[in-house]
RNA sequence: GGCGCCAUAGCCAAGUGGUAAGGCAAGGGUCUGCAAAACCCUCAUUCCCCGGUUCGAAUCCGGGUGGCGCCUCCA
């Protein structure tokens, strides 16, 4: 188990570092999850997919990973959204948790070991705030509690900000009772109609950052191995989380901070405030979920990724190629009895190359490059074009390479479905989306099969054209006709 | 203004000191009754520009130019 070979880029140091678990063989991972006031957009989805693969790969590498991804279900935006729908804030949040879970399942995101909610972590949050007050780094002010940044010298070590500069630009929002502009709220006094809980400072609710500190400590530990989120969380969210946790718990909060790149639309970061947002739910209605996943994975997680119809179409075409190959291979394998014996070359070589890529800060695009060679080889073998002449050797080699694909699948969350099921589901979706006449297609297919049996090539070609006019492209294989939606 | 990221072929995208992965598109070929699919071949003497370090740089350093992000809610 070459686990010591995994290297990860750490935002704090700005470098790739060898992964050094707190407890050998185990890892505690905390990923900042969604604030559930609406449907998530595909930018959020990209980040969650990136960390999904991080967790998958680390498990693939043999680590016992404790994976926690929270729901922020108490927040200003939720309160505001609830005012519009007439639901209570917690009801609205609960509804969007369910919506998120449906989307996450479609995208094949692993279910975290724990998905804590702020509303279920209030006692721990209060305890942490009390601790910060007791240590003199936080103070109460008219029912609010603030973290006093000037009392924590290490502040800004993650985002590497200049405190003087920050102060110059900082403003105090109306109604806030801060001693200094940079101070941020740990606890907010309740306003009428807002969700609130009893606390030593009266009724109130947590500030934005404290919940993650409390949930991470409660469900992962006071010191965690890996913390993930989008780049935009570096400041202020993670900076504040870091300060609170370390000031409160008196120990290091997190060893490796990982941050994912943005999804861009029309050259700008996709964000709700800019309005250039595509909901994951809507994208999932237009493109195959696994193809969307593949699209996310086609660029390194720290790099920006441009969203576009062409990229999505390319990704879906690629998925079709992968699954067509696997279908063909599986059919051949089912029909052949390879038995025991030698194989050609070293099928595990691609596995080693794949791992080398992923070990290097989760270089998934590099790993996908390795897969290309693997699939080409699989196609050669399945089509009988391989240089391997001995049929038994070829069959065993094909089985071994197919085994490699199966081995890597869980690390990426790709190619896990039955090829026939994937291909049929996609075709059905396309037939439906384009309003194709399935009955007419099937009828022509039957006619054409008869014509082909009779070797009536002209008629066969005519029917092929007729099918194409209906939107179906037919191909002839040793196993008979196969067709796909074209265009 | 402060902090940070990025710039690789028509497009997408790896590579971060040893002589440019992979995908899409394009052209040629094999296969096929003809197709489709698949496979094979071709496709960047060169990595935004200018200097520097080095035996050697897309990779390191300095300076430009261009794009983006955070600094206010944001994955």
Nearest amino-acid residue to B74, taking CA and C1': A271
Q: Read off the pLDDT band of A165 (50, 70, 90).
A: confident
SS3 content of chain A, % helix, strand, coil (to 5): 50, 15, 35
When the candidates are 1.10.3720.10, 3.40.50.2300, 3.40.50.620, 3.30.70.1350, the CATH number that belongs to A3-260 is: 3.40.50.620
Please compute the mean of the pLDDT values over residues A16-35 and round it to a whole number: 96
Question: Lowest-confidence range among A4-13, A203-212, A415-424?
Answer: A4-13
> What pLDDT digit, counting tens, does each position of A366-386 carry?
999 999 999 999 999 999 999
Question: How far apart are the C-alpha atoms of A273 and A383, rounded to whole Å?
Answer: 52
Which nucleotide is nearest to A302 if distance is taken from CA to C1'? B5
> What pLDDT digit, counting tens, does each position of A295-332 carry?
999 999 999 999 999 999 999 999 999 999 999 999 99
Can you give the distance from the CA of residue A55 to the C1' of nucleotide B11 in angstroms?
Answer: 32
What pLDDT was estimated at residue A336? 85
Which nucleotide is nearest to A475 if distance is taken from CA to C1'? B36
> What pLDDT digit, counting tens, does each position of A353-369 carry?
999 999 999 999 999 99
Can you give the distance from the CA of residue A156 to the C1' of nucleotide B47 in angstroms?
Answer: 36
Please compute the mean of the pLDDT values over residues A202-231 and round it to a whole number: 96
pLDDT at residue A466 greater than cutoff 90: yes
Can you give the distance from the CA of residue A86 to the C1' of nucleotide B15 in angstroms?
Answer: 54
Please compute the mean of the pLDDT values over residues A241-259 and round it to a whole number: 96
Which nucleotide is nearest to A461 if distance is taken from CA to C1'? B34
Confirm if A258 and A11 have CB atoms less than 8 A apart: yes
What pLDDT was estimated at residue A1? 42
> What pLDDT digit, counting tens, does each position of A74-102 carry?
999 999 999 999 999 999 999 999 999 99
What pLDDT was estimated at residue A163? 82
What pLDDT was estimated at residue A486? 84
Where do you find CATH 3.40.50.620 in chain A? 3-260
Ordered DSSP codes for A183-216: -EEEEEE--TTS--B--TTSSEEE-TTHHHHHHH
ipTM, two decimals: 0.96
pLDDT at residue A3 greater than cutoff 60: no
What pLDDT was estimated at residue A266? 87
What pLDDT was estimated at residue A168? 72
What pLDDT was estimated at residue A55? 98
A43 membership: H or E segment, kind and range: helix A42-60
CATH 1.20.120.640 fits A307-419, yes or no: yes
Which value, to the nearest 10 degrees, does the dihedral of the CA atoms of residues A262, A19, A247, A13 take? Answer: -60
Please compute the mean of the pLDDT values over residues A51-70 and round it to a whole number: 98
Question: How far apart are the C-alpha atoms of A128 and A406, rounded to whole Å?
Answer: 45
Confirm if A208 and A31 have CB atoms less than 8 A apart: no
Please compute the mean of the pLDDT values over residues A30-45 and round it to a whole number: 96
> What pLDDT digit, counting tens, does each position of A181-198 carry?
899 999 999 999 899 999
Can you give the distance from the CA of residue A198 to the C1' of nucleotide B9 in angstroms?
Answer: 63
Confirm if A184 and A147 have CB atoms less than 8 A apart: yes
**A3 or A419: whose pLDDT is higher?**
A419
Where do you find CATH 1.20.120.640 in chain A? 307-419
């Amino acid at each position: 188990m070459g686990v010591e070979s995994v290297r990860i880029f750490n935002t704090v140091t700005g470098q790739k570092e060898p992964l050094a678990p707190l407890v050998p063989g185990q890892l505690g991972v905390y990923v900042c999850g969604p604030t559930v006031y609406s449907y998530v957009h595909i930018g959020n989805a990209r980040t969650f997919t990136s960390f999904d693969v991080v967790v998958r790969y680390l498990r693939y590498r043999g680590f016992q990973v404790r994976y926690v991804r929270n729901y922020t279900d108490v927040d200003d935006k939720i309160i505001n959204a609830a005012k519009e729908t007439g639901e209570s804030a917690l009801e609205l949040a609960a509804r969007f948790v369910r919506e998120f879970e449906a989307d996450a399942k479609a995208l094949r995101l692993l279910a975290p070991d724990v998905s804590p909610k702020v509303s279920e972590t209030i006692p721990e949050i209060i305890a942490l705030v009390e601790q910060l007050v007791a240590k003199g780094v936080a103070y109460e002010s008219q029912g609010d509690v603030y973290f006093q940044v000037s009392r924590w010298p290490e502040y800004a070590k993650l985002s590497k900000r200049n405190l003087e500069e920050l102060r110059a630009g900082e403003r105090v929002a109306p109604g806030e009772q801060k001693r200094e502009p940079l101070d941020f709220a740990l606890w907010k006094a309740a306003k009428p109609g807002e969700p609130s809980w009893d606390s030593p400072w009266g009724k109130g609710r947590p500030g934005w950052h404290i919940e993650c500190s409390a949930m991470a400590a409660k469900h992962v530990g006071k010191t965690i191995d890996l913390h993930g989120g989008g780049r935009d969380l570096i400041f202020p969210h993670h900076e504040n989380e870091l300060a609170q946790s370390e000031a409160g718990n008196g120990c290091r909060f997190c060893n490796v901070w990982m941050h994912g790149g943005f999804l861009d639309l029309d050259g700008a970061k996709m964000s709700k405030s800019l309005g250039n947002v595509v909901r994951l739910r809507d994208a999932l209605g237009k493109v195959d979920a696994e193809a969307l996943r593949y699209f996310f994975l086609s660029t390194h997680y720290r790099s920006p990724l441009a969203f576009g119809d062409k990229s999505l179409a390319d990704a879906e075409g690629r998925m079709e190629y992968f699954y067509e190959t696997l279908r063909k291979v599986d059919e051949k394998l089912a029909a052949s009895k390879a038995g025991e014996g030698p194989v050609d070359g070293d099928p595990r070589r691609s596995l080693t190359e794949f791992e080398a890529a992923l070990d290097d800060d989760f270089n998934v695009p590099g790993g996908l490059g390795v897969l290309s060679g693997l699939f080409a080889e699989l196609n050669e073998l399945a089509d009988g074009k391989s240089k391997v002449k001995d049929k038994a050797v070829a069959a065993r080699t094909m089985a071994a390479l197919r085994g490699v694909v199966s081995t890597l699948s869980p690390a990426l969350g790709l190619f896990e479905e039955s090829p026939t099921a994937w291909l049929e589901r996609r075709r059905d979706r396309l037939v439906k989306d384009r309003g194709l006449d399935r009955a007419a297609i099937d009828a022509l297919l039957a006619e054409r099969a008869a014509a082909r049996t009779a070797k009536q090539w002209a008629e066969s070609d005519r029917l092929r054209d007729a099918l194409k006019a209906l939107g179906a492209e037919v191909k002839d294989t040793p196993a008979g006709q196969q067709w796909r939606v074209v265009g």
